[in-house]
Structure 1
Amino acid sequence: EALPDAITHAAQAMVSSLLNGNKILCCGNGGSATNSQQFVSCLLNRFETERPSLPAMALTADNTTLTAVANDYHYQEIFSKQVRAFGQPGDILLAISTSGNSKNVTKAMEAAVTRDMTIIALTGKDGGEMAGLLGENDVEIRIPSHRTARIHEVHMVTLHCLCDLIDQVLFPAHEE
């Protein structure tokens, strides 16, 4: 019952940000990194219908940056340094973690707060540390499961729902 409301609220926040000329930054580890990159691909390219590209960036995609930051600083900083470099007030950080406790993702969330960004957190289990970092304008979409594989699967479906809702609002003439 809470999932549809959270997904709708997250989509509305993304649409508002995009309409104001902002962008969506995404991060996660492992399967969550895969989900992050798939979501960005759907925004930059298209989801189900032809439409203009939307500004989104997967903070997981640049291996040179990731390994340089991990080597020179700490793995926990791989996303937060990028958020501080690219994030602007009004942008969205889509932070994905099945446990809600990925330290590099929570550090990215902390950096997003300093950049006056809205955070949308995709979590599972009990929401972990990420749930406690959210402000009143942020959104948590928590999958009520303790099984990592199921959480990843529902995260992907959730991300497709977000793509669909964004497209419906921004490009109603493109609907089939």
Structure 2
Amino acid sequence: MTSTGTTTDAVAVAQRHVAALRPTLDALADESDRLARWGALLADRLLDGGRLLAAGNGGSAAEAQHLTAEFVGRFDGDRRAFSAIALHGDASAITAIANDYGYAESFARQVTAHARPGDVLVLLSTSGTSANLVRAAEAGLDAGATVWAMTGPGPNPLAAAVDDALTLPGVGANVQEAQLVAVHALCRVFDAIVRERIGETR
């Protein structure tokens, strides 16, 4: 018996979870070129007046909001604010759209309203099968935005629906954890390029 009164080896459970994350992070490391391209394009677009839109469901919604917060606020160096919107953050809009048009349209209609050519839409999903994200991708492409996805193992419907996708192996929890690393890597590339071009971060 453990000190908690169960027969579960809690240390082993924790160790297995961390060990399972390593192959996902190794796969992410192999995607560094993609993250560098994304960060460079984001710098081009946002410095030119474009905006970043992001969306996800559940834990992926939290990661999408984390991403946009880094652009509106700052990552780890002071710089000006950039336009970035987490589409799930407007509770009135998302519930009204879901009620009137169905949940599959909850992000797509917002993308249609907000996205313009020159904008970037980032969609996060551990499964890559969420219908509302696939519809958002379609709406983003129709609006002329560049659309990227971060998903779990491919191929999957969301990865197939976007301009470019970062697909990672692993179970949902490990994929989501690695996506946070990807979000921070994207921010770091973005800030480095902004610093190089206009000296606005320090």
- Taking structure 2 as the reference length, the TM-score comes to 0.81
Give the aligned partner of residue 182 of structure 2.
Answer: 158
Which consecutive residues of structure 2, in runs of 5 or more, have no partner in the other structure?
A: 1-28
Amino acid at match of 1:143: L
CA distance in 2, matches of 1:13, 1:175: 18
**Does the 8 Å CA contact 1:98/1:148 hold for their aligned counterparts?**
yes
Q: Which digits, 9 at most, give the CA deviation of each residue in 1:63-114, with x for residues without a partner?
A: 1111111111100101000000000011000011111111100000000111
Instruction: Kindly indicate whether residue 65 of structure 2 is the aligned counterpart of residue 37 of structure 1.
Output: yes
Provide the secondary structure at the position in 2 that maps to 1:122: strand
Q: Which digits, 9 at most, give the CA deviation of each residue in 1:37-68, with x for residues without a partner?
A: 01111110111111110110000101111111
Give the aligned partner of residue 126 of structure 2.
Answer: 98
How far has the Cα of 1:144 moved from its partner?
Answer: 2.0
CA distance in 1, matches of 2:71, 2:184: 10
**Does the 8 Å CA contact 1:3/1:142 hold for their aligned counterparts?**
no
Give the aligned partner of residue 168 of structure 1.
Answer: 192
Correspondence list, 1:1-176, <5 A: 2-134=30-162, 138-145=163-170, 147-172=171-196, 173=199
- Could you tell me the percent identity over the aligned residues? 34
**Does the 8 Å CA contact 2:108/2:132 hold for their aligned counterparts?**
yes
CA distance in 2, matches of 1:28, 1:127: 18
RMSD: 1.3
Q: Which has the higher helix share?
A: 2
Pick which of 110-119 and 125-134 moved more. Answer: 125-134
CA distance in 2, matches of 1:8, 1:171: 15
Which consecutive residues of structure 1, in runs of 5 or more, have no partner in the other structure?
A: none
Pick which of 5-14 and 94-103 moved more. Answer: 5-14
How far has the Cα of 1:14 moved from its partner?
Answer: 1.1
CA distance in 1, matches of 2:158, 2:146: 13
Provide the secondary structure at the position in 1 that maps to 2:126: coil
CA distance in 1, matches of 2:79, 2:168: 30
**Misfit runs of 4+, over 3 Å:** 172-176
How far has the Cα of 1:174 moved from its partner?
Answer: 5.5
**Does the 8 Å CA contact 1:99/1:127 hold for their aligned counterparts?**
no
Please tell me whether Structure 1 or Structure 2 has the larger radius of gyration of its CA atoms.
Answer: 2
